[in-house]
Amino acid sequence: MLRSATKISDLFFSPGKPPMVEVNGNLAPVGSRALSVEDVRHIASDLIGNNKYALGNLREQGSCDLSYSLPGTSRFRVNVFMQRGTSVIVMRVIPSKIPSFTELNLPEELRNIVDLRNGVVLVTGPTGSGKSSTLAAIIDLINKQHAYHILTIEDPIEFLHPHQNCLVHQRELHSDTTSFAQALRAALRQAPKVILVGEMRDRETIEIAMEAAETGHLVLSTLHTIDASKTVERIVGVFPLAEQHAIRNRLAKSFRYIVSQRLIPRKDGSGRVATIEILKSTLRTREYVEKGEIEGKTLLDAMRVAKTEGMQHFDGELENYIRAGIIDFETGMAYATNPGNLRLELADFTPPPAEAPQSGS
């Protein structure tokens, strides 16, 4: 399956269909023989092995997460779930090589994260938008440029970081610790300079992460939110109304960057391009986080007027890609945060005419 194409992101095993791979956002079959219910059940059993926690979750909750490795080939983040009484398997491919800033084409502004001494950096976006790859590139650069203790807490461990200039310890949920919150609380006694938390899943994890940032740690984590404004709303919204003002105040002081990303199909069909929004901690953005957004004073307004400070917003990047011919107009509109505004910004843009098919001689 891995050899069937380049840039494979996921493998799928589902009864009634051949094994499927996702390539550049589209599914394609590998082979022609449809898998039976028993085929998928046996594959799931082999992947789970003697992982009693995963097996218990599958029986009690109908799904389970685990990691799987093919030595010398690749690692996978695996989810097995039940549907209509049968098993289905989705395996996210984790490259064996940690991607670099250059390979991911990340904005140069994000290199400044490597030199931060404390605070919270959040990388957000939908599932499959490349959040883990971006964080892996940041951790790898810290690992090369500094001499710190780095601690990661993941579910499951994805990219493996060898010791370089830094000492890197990676803890996996359920095999090394029972929860993100418990591992994060323990981390405060384990003398790390940098802490990577796989996901801000609940109120307790968010609270301890902010406490860690306030006590001199650099905390990196992810959220499944689509942009900076929604990220702030999600964090504040998990707390009771009476505590939200205090949380806004703490978040305003502790956040350093909120980086949101989406993968957009390229016009030439060669793959997808990362579109990245960057909100940076400044006097203005801290005020908007603390006091809340009002018309004319939104985080989007702040990003629009702060290009010289390293900030950028989704629709501005989409406009650049459309004008450069990297993505087409219709795709840009489909992925835009505010399609109406983007259409106005592109009012002077005339798409190049489509090439006419060549007629046979």
- pTM value? 0.85
pLDDT, greater one: 23 or 218: 218
pLDDT of residue 361: 40
Q: What ranges do the domains of the chain cover?
A: 2-94, 101-312
CATH number for the domain formed by residue range(s) 101-312: 3.40.50.300
250 by Cβ neighbours in 10 Å (0-12 / 13-18 / 19+) ranks as buried
Provide mean pLDDT across the span 327-331: 94
Q: What percent of the chain has pLDDT over 90?
A: 80
Query: In angstroms, how far is the first alpha carbon of the chain from the final one?
Result: 40
Residue with tokens 């990220």: 231
- The percent of the chain in helix, strand and coil, each rounded to the nearest 5, is 40, 25, 35
Chain-centroid distance of CA 133 in Å reads: 7
pLDDT of residue 352: 66
Residue 353 pLDDT class (50, 70, 90 cuts): low
Q: 147-176 pLDDT, tens per residue?
A: 999 999 998 888 999 999 999 999 988 889
Residue with tokens 């010791």: 163
pLDDT of residue 269: 84
For residue 274, the surrounding DSSP H or E stretch is strand 272-280
Q: What percent of the chain has pLDDT over 70?
A: 97
Q: 247-301 pLDDT, tens per residue?
A: 999 999 999 999 999 999 999 988 889 999 999 999 999 999 999 999 999 999 9
Residue 7's contacts (CB-CB under 8 Å, 6 or more residues apart) are 23, 24, 271
Residue 67 pLDDT class (50, 70, 90 cuts): confident
**Number of residues that make up the chain:** 361
Residue 113's contacts (CB-CB under 8 Å, 6 or more residues apart) are 121, 138, 220, 256, 257
Q: Which two tokens stand for residue 307?
A: 């290009």
Query: CA–CA separation, 111 vs 142, rounded Å?
Result: 9
DSSP 3-71: GGSSSEEEEEE-TTS--EEEETTEEEESSSPPPPHHHHHHHHHHHHTT-HHHHHHHHHHSEEEEEEEET
Query: CA–CA separation, 150 vs 267, rounded Å?
Result: 39
Cis bond leading into 265, ω under 30°? no
The SS3 call for residue 77 is: strand
Q: 103-127 pLDDT, tens per residue?
A: 999 999 999 999 999 999 999 999 8
pLDDT, greater one: 355 or 147: 147
The SS3 call for residue 87 is: strand
CATH number for the domain formed by residue range(s) 2-94: 3.30.450.90
Q: Which two tokens stand for residue 121?
A: 């950096």
Name the pairing type of β-strands 74-83 and 63-70. Answer: antiparallel
Query: CA–CA separation, 94 vs 109, rounded Å?
Result: 25
Residue 207's contacts (CB-CB under 8 Å, 6 or more residues apart) are none
Q: Pick the closest to residue 212 from 227, 233, 191, 235 (CA basis).
A: 191
